[in-house]
Amino acid sequence: MIQLTTFPIDSDALVRQAQVPASGAVLLFLGVTRQHTSGRETAELRYDAYHEMAEKELAALEEKARQKWHLNECLIVHRLGKVPLGEASVAIVVASPHRHAAFAAGEWLIDTLKMSVPIWKEEHWADGSSDWIHPEHDVKHSQATSTNK
């Protein structure tokens, strides 16, 4: 299941959904608005997305992860709009029979999401200025979508 939302992410509900007897391992990753980045203080983050493409890319990530690992559950939720300090902008929950698959899938999902899903963060600094963040990496095709053309 993938979702884009402007509301706070209920990570407890996601974990409850994933916690079933078939899964010996349930892993939760939260990406949280951090107060300090390279010595600068953040007031809040704002996220924007190319909504329909972001949904397709997230769905492709879920599909790819389910092909690569034995997952009983794979939940990816990304928040858009304002995300205050200490709140989650992204939540990933994966559940699998054994922990190695869950750890590997969780790390791959967040790393790949950050490279390929058309979502952008705008840092609103405590001094009142703001910057869109465009990291020095090439946008990567997720293989699941590039074979879809």
Q: C-beta of 36: minimal distance to other proteins in Å?
A: 17
Helices (H), 29-125: 51-68, 99-116
Question: Cβ distance 124 to 34 under 8 Å?
Answer: no
- The 30-49 site mask, x for binding other proteins (CB under 8 A), equals -x---------------xxx
x-or-dash pattern for other proteins, window 104-123, by CB under 8 A?
A: ------x--xxxxxxxxxx-
Closest to other proteins by CB, 127 vs 136, is 136
The span from the CA of 72 to the CA of 20, in Å, is 9
Instruction: Show Cβ contacts of residue 62 under 8 Å, excluding neighbours closer than 6 positions.
Output: 1, 2, 74, 76
Binding positions for other proteins, rule: CB under 8 A: 31, 47-50, 52-54, 56, 78, 89-90, 110, 113-122, 132-139, 141, 145-146, 148-149
